[in-house]
Chain A
Amino acid sequence: QQKVQQSPESLIVPEGGMASLNCTSSDRNVDYFWWYRQHSGKSPKMLMSIFSNGEKEEGRFTVHLNKASLHTSLHIRDSQPSDSALYLCAALNTGNYKYVFGAGTRLKVIA
């Protein structure tokens, strides 16, 4: 069964620090990856997407993708307390069109 593994399970970083989150898919047919952020009591909201090898930067957020290893990472620089949330990695196999989510990394940014 298609699985998405995320690490670490939880992460504490100081305000202004760098947070690094990892995600790997076990499905060789995954085509696309996303990172979603879910604040407590809210629904997941897409943060960034990455569909091809390499790096993509948007403000304080950078994602990397290595399609050969099916590994993506999210890096948050200058972390803010408002970044404290559950970060979910999602992968899509366009063959069966099922979005599969990892268990998430719970990030806490302390002032």
Chain B
Amino acid sequence: DPKIIQKPKYLVAVTGSEKILICEQYLGHNAMYWYRQSAKKPLEFMFSYSYQKLMDNQTASSRFQPQSSKKNHLDLQITALKPDDSATYFCASSQPGPSNERLFFGHGTKLSVL
């Protein structure tokens, strides 16, 4: 029973198009994140949100825009898609605190840009 739901699981897009990756977590966590992983690069931090506010952004391109409509939602909008954007995008969440501190990951959205 997945507690972090990512939709869709697989996504194929054409160069130049726009896509939204969906993430909902049902763990009651206050912090949510996006990470990206590809064959060329290891697991790479993109964004962190806490209480729906952007905490950190390590993505150089403004083509990547996180959107948080609710505390347990953190979607990722990607515009002007490029083949280099092909990767698996993982949503994650955590509950900051001295005990049980850890990151939980969703199953990922595998994006292929043609």
Contacts and interface: CB of A to CB of B under 8 A. Distances in A.
B27 interface: no
Contacts of B33: 99
Closest 5 CB pairs of A and B: A103-B42, A43-B105, A101-B43, A46-B102, A43-B107
Given A43-B105, A45-B105, A90-B103, A96 B56 contact: yes
B103 A43 contact: no
Given A34-B102, A43-B106, A43-B107, A97 B43 contact: no
A49 B96 CA distance: 15
Given A46-B102, A49-B102, A101-B45, 15 more contacts: A34-B102, A43-B106, A43-B108, A46-B104, A90-B103, A92-B101, A97-B48, A97-B50, A98-B56, A98-B58, A99-B33, A99-B94, A101-B35, A101-B43, A103-B42
A45 B102 CA distance: 10
Contact of A102 (B42, B55, B102, B103): B42
B31 A97 contact: yes
Interface string A31-50: 01010000000111110010
A49 B102 CA distance: 8
B102 A43 contact: no
Give the interface size class of chain B. Answer: 20 to 34
A100 interface: yes
| Chain A interface main SS type | strand
Interface string B74-114: 00000000000000001010101000011111111000000
B105 A99 contact: no
Contacts of B102: 34, 46, 49
A98 B105 contact: no
A45 B108 CA distance: 12
Contacts of A90: 103
Interface string B35-75: 10000001111001010000110100000000000000000
Interface in A12-65: 32, 34, 42-46, 49, 51
A102 B48 CA distance: 18
